[in-house]
Structures are given as structure tokens and as C-alpha cells.
Amino acid sequence: MSTQPLVIGKFSLGMGDRFAHEAEAQLAACLAARKLGVEIVPVWNKSNREHNIIGSEPTSTRAAADAAVKALGWTAPYFLDADHIGLKTVDRFVGVSDFFTIDVADFIAQPAAPAAVQAFVDRHPELVGTITLAGIDRPFTTTRADVERTAAKFLLAVQEAGKVYRHIVSVKGVGRFVPEISMDETDSPQTPPELLVILAAIADEGVPIQTIAPKFTGRFNKGVDYVGDLAQFEREFNDDLCVIAHAVKQYGLPANLKLSVHSGSDKFSIYPAIRRALAKHGAGVHVKTAGTTWLEEVIGLAEAGGAGLALAKEIYAEALSHMDELCQPYATVIDIDRSKLPAAAVVDGWTSEQFVGALRHDQKNPLYNANIRQLIHVGFKVAAKMGPRYLEQLKACRESCARNVTGNLLERHIRPLFL
Ligand SMILES: [Zn+2]
């Protein structure tokens, strides 16, 4: 085993593969990007929640990734992300993962001990007053009370991240994994001045994070485009990059520290802003996608016609009749207008073209239906329940599923962001 610490490259793409059948098709997108001149580090991510819903183990993700790497002769680094783990869930992943998304969102706003807050602010007089950061026109102006408020809100979460990090280190060793801290699954976005305080606290806690996932302004719903103020997003994303560059120097965080954009798939309207910001600051980014690949599988089945299309229709019908149960775990990250969901009997009469048109994320296609897309996005439990019947159909429709998976990542994600 190499003794070099594991370091993630500048541009990386988190890819989800719910049924562990698409790793080759996903890697093919990174391989194509490489031939077109940009290195994209593939990172296979799967959360504890997904494993529980599907009934799979992290070892299956590892096996699928390793097999794809071998089959396609991929020689560059790749990672396996234990996505959204905490102290209670990390152990299942610790043997096979080398990237850990330490999710501490649940600890935000649980107030830290007042003494710890005072000690933090005493240690960081540089966070109070007028803070001028390279690249940001308007300096941040903060009072001691502001910093106390921010520290009280985030310090406990950062301390929790420290506990999880040290637990992973105790098993794997220092430098044997890429640590990320995520704070995205919470109600309110973190502002750039808050991010600065958070990064100072993370450095104090001794967690050498290489990626950080704040919650950005606007809505990042599953499988559909961004909804929010594009100008504000762009301003804050640029500010966040400046905050990170500053924190790397000021607090000695890893030089490759970068933003991680969660629910980053299909956010087509913000990709130009992200692309501009990365170019302007010479910054890297991790864009995490997950369910977009599962949707491409269903599109691939529908496109194949025959038994594939029939199974896709069955998935829709089942998802429709179990909508409440399927939507519940994702309630905060979907917006489905139920009045725009056609009855199962209507969809049953659809052609392959109609089904594919409704589901594929092409906003210019009049057949596209974002409500159907979100329902299917959360409906993977239906396919999990079908078990071998679903997997056999995936194999039977291998070509169309793989073509859609690769095309989606390459043309709709990698190209607008990086090429
Ligand atoms: Zn997330």
C-alpha cells in the first residue's frame, strides 16, 4: 500500500449507482472526458439511506467500481464515498470506502457550550471587524456578537464532525481517506461569512477536509433543475470560493480544499455560473450526483420498448400508488404537483417515445414532465422490490441503459461544467 496521503484531484464527479449495474457506463463518461482533455475523478457515492432502501451493502458498490475500473483500464484515481454518514452509520462503510461525507446537519443549531463559544471567539479575533478577502469587492463586517451567534450555531456540528473523523482515522489511519463535511440537509443556507467561521472551527478541530458541502441559496430538488435567484447564487458561490482560498492560507486547511455541490445533478441553469466561477478563481469542485443515473436506467428500459417499456410503466404505476410512502423520506427536496401526474392507465397507453419524452431531462421537449421525473426519482424502492425481475430487464436492455447513463453524465453534466 502506498504511503502517500490520498488527495482528490481538482474536478470530481460523485456518481450514484443504486443497483450497481452502471459503473462501467458511468466510468465511460469520465473516460470520454479524459480523451476530450479534462480529468474528472470518478467518485461512486451511496448513502446509508439508499443502501437501506435497496437492501444492499457498501461492498457491492466497491465490487462494481473495481470491476468497471478493471474492465475499462482506468488507471487514474477513483474513490468510494460513504455518503452522508455519522457516528451511528459509518462502521458499515469504513472497510471499503476511501471518501467519507461526514453529515453533521442534524447538529446545526443545537447550541454549543457557552464556554466553547467564548473560547472560539477569543482564539479568533481576526473574525471580528472588517474582513477583506481577495476577490470579494465588499468586505465582510462582523461584530463579536455575530461571530458568537455563528459559533453557537455551528460549533457543536463541527465538534461532532471531529468525533466521526477521529473514529474513521482510528480504523483507517491518517491520510487513508478523503474527508468531506456536509451541512446541506438543513433548512437555511450558510452565508459566505458563516462559511469562514465554520472553516476556522473545522481547522481548530483538526479535520483536514478536502471538500465541504454547504447548503447554497435556492432549491436543489432531486432530479430537476435549480429553482432560485441565479444572480445571488453566482455571487455567493464566488464568495464561497474566495472564503475557501483565504481559509486554506489562514488556517492551514488542505490546499486542494474545494466546494462540494450536493444534489448537483440536473442543475442545468446554474452550471454556467459554476463554470465561470471555477475559471475565474482557478478553483476545483466536486459535483455530487446520485439519482440521475437511476432515471437514465428507467429511460433506457422505456427506450428499448417491449418488456423494458412494460416494466418502466409498471414502475410508474407502482410509484404512483405508493406516492406518500416514497416521497416521505425526501419531502424537503422534492416539489411534485400531483395534479400533473397522469393516471397509470394513461401512461400504460404511451409509446416508448412518449414515456422517454416525459422522463428525460430535456426542458425544450413539450413532453417533459418534471413531476413524473421527481416521482420516479424517489421511486427506486419499487424497482428494489421487483428484485431479480428488475435486474434481468437491466441486463436485457443493457445497450440502451448504458448509452443513456453515459450520455447523460457526459453531455448534460460534464460538458456544460468542465469541457
Ligand atoms: Zn447532501
Each residue's pLDDT tens digit in the chain (419 positions)?
557 899 999 999 999 999 999 999 999 999 999 999 999 999 999 999 999 999 999 999 999 999 999 999 999 999 999 999 999 999 999 999 999 999 999 999 899 999 999 999 999 999 999 999 999 999 999 999 999 999 999 999 999 999 999 999 999 999 999 999 999 988 899 999 999 999 999 999 999 999 999 999 999 999 999 999 999 999 999 999 999 999 999 999 999 999 999 999 999 999 999 999 999 999 999 999 999 999 999 999 999 999 999 999 999 999 999 999 999 988 889 999 999 999 999 999 999 999 999 999 999 999 999 999 999 999 999 999 999 999 999 999 999 999 999 999 999 999 999 99
Contact 286, 260 (CB under 8 A): yes
| Three cell numbers, residue 286 | 466536486
**Cross-strand bridge partners of residue 318:** none
Q: Which amino acid is at 84?
A: H
| Three cell numbers, residue 339 | 395534479
**What spacing in Å lies between the alpha carbon of 288 and ligand 1's midpoint?**
8
**Cross-strand bridge partners of residue 99:** 81, 178
**What spacing in Å lies between the alpha carbon of 92 and ligand 1's midpoint?**
19
**What spacing in Å lies between the alpha carbon of 103 and ligand 1's midpoint?**
8
**What spacing in Å lies between the alpha carbon of 220 and ligand 1's midpoint?**
10
Q: Is the pTM of this model over 0.75?
A: yes
**What spacing in Å lies between the alpha carbon of 389 and ligand 1's midpoint?**
30
Contact 22, 405 (CB under 8 A): yes
**What spacing in Å lies between the alpha carbon of 408 and ligand 1's midpoint?**
20
What count of other Cβ atoms lies within 10 Å of the Cβ of residue 132?
10
- Distance (Å, rounded) from C-alpha 288 to C-alpha 188? 20
The residues near 32 (Cβ < 8 Å, ≥ 6 apart) are 406, 410, 414
**What spacing in Å lies between the alpha carbon of 399 and ligand 1's midpoint?**
30
**What spacing in Å lies between the alpha carbon of 269 and ligand 1's midpoint?**
19
Q: Of 211, 219, 135, which is closest to residue 179 (Cα–Cα)?
A: 211
Q: What angle do CA 268, 270, 271 make, to 5 degrees?
A: 65
